[in-house]
Amino acid sequence: MTDIPEGYAPVWNEGFNAYVGPFYGRPRDDGSVHFFVDVRDDHMNGAGMVHGGMMMAFADAVLGTAVSISVDNAPCATMTLNTDFVAAGQNGIRLEGEAEITRATRSVVFVSGRIYQGDKTLLTASGIWKILGAS
């Protein structure tokens, strides 16, 4: 069972995310949101490292949630998600994530972020999200 620190709540744990999560988030004083997921055995690849697909799924949730919050929870969809793997993730160590909106227009939002364990960045990401219904 996950030890959930005070102030954290489940985030986007429906559908696919329910299988790879649960993901948790907590708003920060600066308006950003900090995220985490506890690494389990089923998150590992055959080489004994956190599976890249797992980190990409978490990054999509982290960046997407940041976008959703920035547009008052309007529905959004990932248009592009670019990732760079920087280091290998280890089992039993909490994955954390953070994201920053870099630009926003009426219909799309640009965002960047990272996934990390402790002080070690594992993955950097950037993407573009479409605000659904916006022209």
Residue 101 has pLDDT above 60, yes or no: yes
Task: Check if CATH label 3.90.550.10 holds for domain 9-131.
Answer: no
* pTM of the complete model beyond 0.85: yes
What are the sequence ranges of the domains in the chain? 9-131
Residue 135 has pLDDT above 80, yes or no: no
CB-based burial label for 52 (10 Å; 0-12, 13-18, 19+): middle
Query: pLDDT (tens digit, 9 = 90+) per residue, 51-80?
Result: 999 999 999 999 999 999 889 888 999 999
What's the rounded Cα separation, in Å, for the pair 22 and 9? 10
What's the rounded Cα separation, in Å, for the pair 8 and 115? 17
**Residue that wins the pLDDT comparison between 105 and 17:** 105
Is the distance from CB of 11 to CB of 73 less than 8 angstroms?
no
